[in-house]
Structures are given as structure tokens and as C-alpha cells.
């Protein structure tokens, strides 16, 4: 089995995977979300060229299963989503020779995540009592899912690969419920007990081709017995608790 994994952070939570022949690891960044003015060449290398090499090696070595981690984002959003969608198309083209599983993730979050990701960035700013945080109007809706629920979805898929025939299989992972970015920011400010930071909604324009209501179809995972365990507030509370302890430990 070959696994194009999204993050060592998730793999550490999942733990050892029986019968796993190869876990993808890249020289340089393990993943590239296309933020902070990332070089498009680097984005293509990390999210397309290296996974394609892994896929080719999987076919060459007669692997039975290849699991790829995709994004739910539309390919028009940015270079990251475009590169991810391009690889999912390559994966589909190889699917005659392998069980090709494509897992599109909604916005997952949790403790010790990449600081450039929205929830982690917002949380750090609130815990540090930033004077103001510039945001969009926040009307766009996203499905936020706690990392441990993402891990449990991968576990279910790993346990059921033997039931899937050769071919391309697309799964989407989220809670099935979406919330406005504005509501999330206000909730996170409440959970962190922050009375000082101004949430400056409308200071930043929406991205070009911004998706205003991101949804996922989790029915295929539900038929395998999967269900998310954490509500948004429960997941954020756990994240805040750990992040606070990390901040205290660094002082």
C-alpha cells in the first residue's frame, strides 16, 4: 500500500499503519499550501511531481492500494488547489491498475497545526491579545473538522481497502455542517476569553473565485460506519487547551 499523506502531524496521531510499504516524505517542505507567496514551481513539485513519482513507483512495485489526500477547494482558488486537482486527475488515469483512493478534506484543524492555516493563525492572534485582526466580511461558509475525526476517517478507509475493487474511489471528509467564517471567529474569541482584540471584518477583500458555501458529501464514509465525534466547540476547546499549554511551556 502506498500513501500520499498530507502531514506528519496527522501521521503521528494515526500511529503505525500495518502493511504500509511506503509513506511519502519530501525533501524540503512536507506539504505546501500555497500561502505566503509560495513559489508555484515548489507547489507543483510538492503537490504534483513527487506524488506522481510515488504513484508510478506504486504501480511498478505492484502495490494494491494508493491513498491520496486531496482538498475540497475548487482548483480555481489558488496554485495549491490547482496542483492538488491536477494530481487527482493523474490518479484517476492510473486507476485501471490499482485501488486508487482520493480523499478530499474539508478544513481540518487541531493543536500544533501549521501556523499559516486559518484556525491556528486566528487562535494564536487571540491568545496573544492582538490589538486587531483584519478579516474578510466572513460570510463564506466552511466545514471545520477536528483532526482526530479526520484520522478516524482514514482508519475506516484503511480497514476497508480490501472491499474496494480496482479503480478510482473518491471520498470527502468533513462534518457535513458548515459555519460562516465570521461565526467561527466570534466563537473562537469567546472560547479564548479574549475581550481585547478587535475582529476587523471587511478589512480584506474576498479571494478571486472565492467559494461562499463549501459542502462535502460524507455518505460513502457513513456507509462504512464512520461518524465524526467532535462538535466544532469541542474540537476548538481541545485545541485551545493544548495551544495554551504550549505557549506557557515556551516562556
18: pLDDT strictly greater than 60: no
The arithmetic mean of pLDDT across residues 128-135, rounded, is 96
3-state SS assignment for residue 177: coil
196: pLDDT strictly greater than 60: yes
Domain chopping of the chain, boundaries: 2-250
The number of helices, as runs of H, and strands, as runs of E, in the chain is 9, 11
Instruction: Output the CA torsion sign for 213, 135, 127, 249.
Output: positive
Catalytic residues: 80
Place of cell 475525526: 149
CATH superfamily entry for domain 2-250: NAD(P)-binding Rossmann-like Domain (3.40.50.720)
23: pLDDT strictly greater than 90: no
Q: Identify the pLDDT of residue 13.
A: 41
Model confidence at 76, pLDDT cuts 50, 70, 90, reads confident
- Give the H or E element holding residue 79: helix 79-93
- Tell me: the pLDDT tens digits for 216-247? 999 999 999 999 999 999 999 999 999 998 87
- Tell me: the pLDDT tens digits for 55-65? 888 888 888 89
Q: Identify the pLDDT of residue 22.
A: 41
Contact (Cβ atoms closer than 8 angstroms) between residue 118 and residue 107: yes
122 Cβ contact list (under 8 Å, min separation 6): 133, 184, 185, 188
- 80-13-162 Cα angle (round to 5): 80
Contact (Cβ atoms closer than 8 angstroms) between residue 112 and residue 242: yes
Instruction: Measure Cα distances from 114 to 15, 52, 53, 160, 194 in Å.
Output: 19, 24, 25, 30, 22
Model confidence at 203, pLDDT cuts 50, 70, 90, reads very high
Q: Identify the pLDDT of residue 38.
A: 67
Instruction: Single out the residue of 197, 198, 183 nearest to residue 236, CA to CA.
Output: 183
Q: Identify the pLDDT of residue 40.
A: 86
Q: Identify the pLDDT of residue 12.
A: 42
- Tell me: the pLDDT tens digits for 24-56? 433 334 454 444 556 889 889 888 998 898 888
Instruction: Measure Cα distances from 186 to 97, 175, 181, 191, 244 in Å.
Output: 48, 20, 9, 9, 18
Amino acid at each position: 500500500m502506498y500513501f500520499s499523506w498530507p502531514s506528519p502531524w496527522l501521521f503521528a496521531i494515526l500511529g503505525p499503519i500495518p502493511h504500509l510499504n511506503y509513506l511519502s516524505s519530501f525533501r524540503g517542505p512536507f506539504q505546501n499550501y500555497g500561502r505566503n507567496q509560495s513559489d508555484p514551481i515548489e507547489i507543483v513539485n510538492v503537490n504534483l511531481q513527487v506524488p506522481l513519482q510515488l504513484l508510478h513507483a506504486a504501480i511498478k512495485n505492484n502495490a494494491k492500494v494508493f491513498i491520496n489526500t486531496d482538498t475540497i477547494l475548487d482548483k480555481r482558488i489558488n496554485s495549491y488547489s490547482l496542483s492538488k486537482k491536477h494530481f487527482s486527475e493523474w490518479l484517476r488515469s492510473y486507476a485501471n491498475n490499482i485501488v486508487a483512493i482520493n480523499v478530499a478534506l474539508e478544513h481540518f484543524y487541531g493543536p500544533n497545526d501549521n501556523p499559516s492555516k486559518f484556525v491556528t493563525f486566528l487562535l494564536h492572534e487571540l491568545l496573544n491579545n492582538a490589538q486587531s485582526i483584519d478579516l474578510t466580511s466572513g460570510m463564506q461558509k466552511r466545514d471545520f473538522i477536528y483532526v482526530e475525526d479526520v484520522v478516524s476517517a482514514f482508519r475506516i478507509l484503511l480497514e476497508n481497502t480490501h472491499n474496494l475493487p480496482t479503480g478510482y474511489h473518491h471520498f470527502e471528509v468533513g462534518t457535513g455542517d458548515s459555519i460562516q467564517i465570521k461565526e467561527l471567529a466570534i466563537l473562537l474569541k469567546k472560547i479564548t476569553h479574549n475581550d481585547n482584540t478587535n475582529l476587523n471584518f471587511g478589512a480584506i477583500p474576498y479571494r478571486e473565485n472565492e467559494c461562499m458555501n463549501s459542502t462535502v458529501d460524507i455518505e460513502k464514509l457513513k456507509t462504512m460506519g464512520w461518524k465524526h465525534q467532535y462538535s466544532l466547540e469541542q474540537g476548538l476547546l481541545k485545541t485551545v487547551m493544548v495551544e495554551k499549554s504550549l505557549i506557557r511551556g515556551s516562556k
